[in-house]
Amino acid sequence: MKAVKIETTLEIYNTIKDLPQEIQNLMEAAVKARENAYAPYSNFKVGAAILLQNQKVVTGSNQENASYPSGLCAERTAIYYAGAQYPKAKMLKIAVTASSQNQITDTPIPPCGACRQAIAEYEIKQNHPIEIYFMGVKGKVVKSNSLANLLPLAFDHSFL
Ligand code: THU
């Protein structure tokens, strides 16, 4: 038997103001997108904004459904839109923000496992890391330099 230790490195910022203006703008786009969330069942609104290499910003929000599993997270709404509209443009950075109607969300809300898998697909496809920034409504921001940091042992095309 051999034990394998997997380590990851994330950067934690006390406030979005500690990040460059470009990231503040991207997070602002995510906040605006969050307002368009359709979340009548969870009351948990999420916004995502993706900066593409062509400098366009693509946004998405969670879209829920009375048939719960038919809904989609903000990150995948945004990333599939980016993939569909700009298939040749690399995705450089993603900002994500979440807010709950039940409490003030002041801790960073990480992307769910399914969204990590979806983001991993594009990171591998474009062979270029995607920076991820996530936060609540206010407070700390977590930065990951690459999706790979958030999804060790990812399932990818090489297994097919
Ligand atoms: N949600 C997202 O949009 N992104 C995530 O990464 C986690 C969860 C949404 C899905 C659902 O509409 C609501 O948040 C509660 O799970």
Question: What digits encode the pLDDT tens for the residues 100-131?
Answer: 998 889 999 999 999 999 999 999 999 999 99
The predicted model scores a pTM of 0.96
The pLDDT > 70 percentage for the chain reads: 100
Average pLDDT, the chain: 97
- Mean predicted confidence (pLDDT) in 12-24: 98
Answer whether 39 contacts ligand 1 (Cβ < 6 A). Answer: yes
Distance in angstroms (rounded) separating the CA atoms of residues 28 and 96: 10
Q: Whose CA is nearest to atom 6 of ligand 1?
A: 111
Answer whether 146 contacts ligand 1 (Cβ < 6 A). Answer: no
Residue whose entry in the numeric block shows the structure tokens 């095309």: 157
What letters, b where the CB count within 10 A reaches 16 and e where it falls short, cover 122-150?
A: bbeeeeebbbbbbbbbeebbbbbebbbeb
Answer whether 132 contacts ligand 1 (Cβ < 6 A). Answer: no
3-state SS, residue 108? coil
Q: Give the CATH class of 21-150.
A: alpha beta
3-state SS, residue 71? coil
Distance in angstroms (rounded) separating the CA atoms of residues 18 and 124: 29
Question: What digits encode the pLDDT tens for the residues 69-89?
Answer: 999 999 999 999 999 999 999
Annotated domain spans of the chain? 21-150
